[in-house]
């Protein structure tokens, strides 16, 4: 990962093109209104994707089988 730590797929992490590494964000699934705090630990390479969530974060938000989902992103720190 870009932060030098080992990737943990079940952790509450995300990759972002624009948010700084180490930022904490609240991600809300707009389909079911579930939310989670995730830590930005890596960079995403795909244009048009605001975040790539870890499997653990996607499961928590109820979107692990969707691939893509509409979310609200709020920076906490």
Structural domain span for residue 69: 13-75
Q: Kindly state whether residue 19 falls inside one of the protein's structural domains.
A: yes
pTM of the model: 0.88
Q: How many domains does the chain have?
A: 1
**Helix (H, G, I), strand (E, B), or coil: what is residue 76?**
coil
Q: Kindly state whether residue 43 falls inside one of the protein's structural domains.
A: yes
Number of helical (H) and strand (E) elements in the chain, helices listed first: 1, 5
Q: Kindly state whether residue 4 falls inside one of the protein's structural domains.
A: no
Q: Kindly state whether residue 3 falls inside one of the protein's structural domains.
A: no
Q: Kindly state whether residue 41 falls inside one of the protein's structural domains.
A: yes
> What is the distance, to the nearest Å, from the Cα of residue 11 to the centroid of all Cα atoms in its chain?
10
Q: Could you please report the per-residue DSSP string of 36-59? A: EEEEEEE----TT-SEEE-HHHHH
Q: What is the pLDDT along the chain (77 residues), one digit of tens a residue?
A: 556 667 788 999 999 999 999 999 999 999 999 999 999 999 987 788 889 999 999 999 999 898 899 999 999 99
- The enclosing domain of 62 has a CATH number of 2.40.40.10
């Amino acid at each position: 990962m870009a932060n030098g730590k080992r990737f943990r797929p079940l952790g509450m992490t995300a990759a972002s093109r624009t948010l700084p590494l180490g930022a904490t964000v609240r991600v809300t699934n707009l389909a079911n209104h579930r939310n989670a705090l995730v830590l930005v630990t890596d960079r995403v390479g795909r244009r048009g994707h605001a975040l790539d969530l870890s499997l653990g974060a996607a499961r928590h938000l109820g979107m692990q089988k969707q691939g893509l989902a509409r979310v609200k992103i709020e920076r906490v720190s």
